[in-house]
Amino acid sequence: MLTITQALYDQIVAHARKDHPDEACGVVAGPAGSDRPERFIPMLNAAMSPTFYEFDSGDLLKLYRELDDRDEEPVVIYHSHTATEAHPSRTDISYANEPGAHYVLVSTADTDGLGEFQFRSFRIVDGEVAEEEVRVVAAY
Give the pLDDT confidence of 26-68 residue by residue, as tens digits: 999 999 999 999 999 999 999 999 999 999 999 999 999 999 9
Please report the pLDDT score of residue 35 as a whole number.
97
pLDDT at residue number 84: 86
- Residue 82 maps to which CATH number? 3.40.140.10
What is the identity of the amino acid at 95? Y
pLDDT digits (tens, 9 = 90+) for 67-126: 999 999 999 999 999 988 899 999 999 999 999 999 999 998 865 555 667 899 999 999
Q: How many domains does the chain have?
A: 1
**pTM of the predicted protein model:** 0.94
Question: CA–CA separation, 80 vs 13, rounded Å?
Answer: 9
* Residue ranges making up the domain that contains 77: 2-137
Where would I find the beta strands (DSSP E) of the chain? 2-5, 25-31, 39-43, 72-81, 102-107, 118-125, 128-132, 134-137
Give the sign of the dihedral formed by CA 40, CA 9, CA 92, CA 123: positive
Q: Can you tell me the distance from the alpha carbon of 128 to that of 94, in angstroms, rounded to the nearest whole number?
A: 10
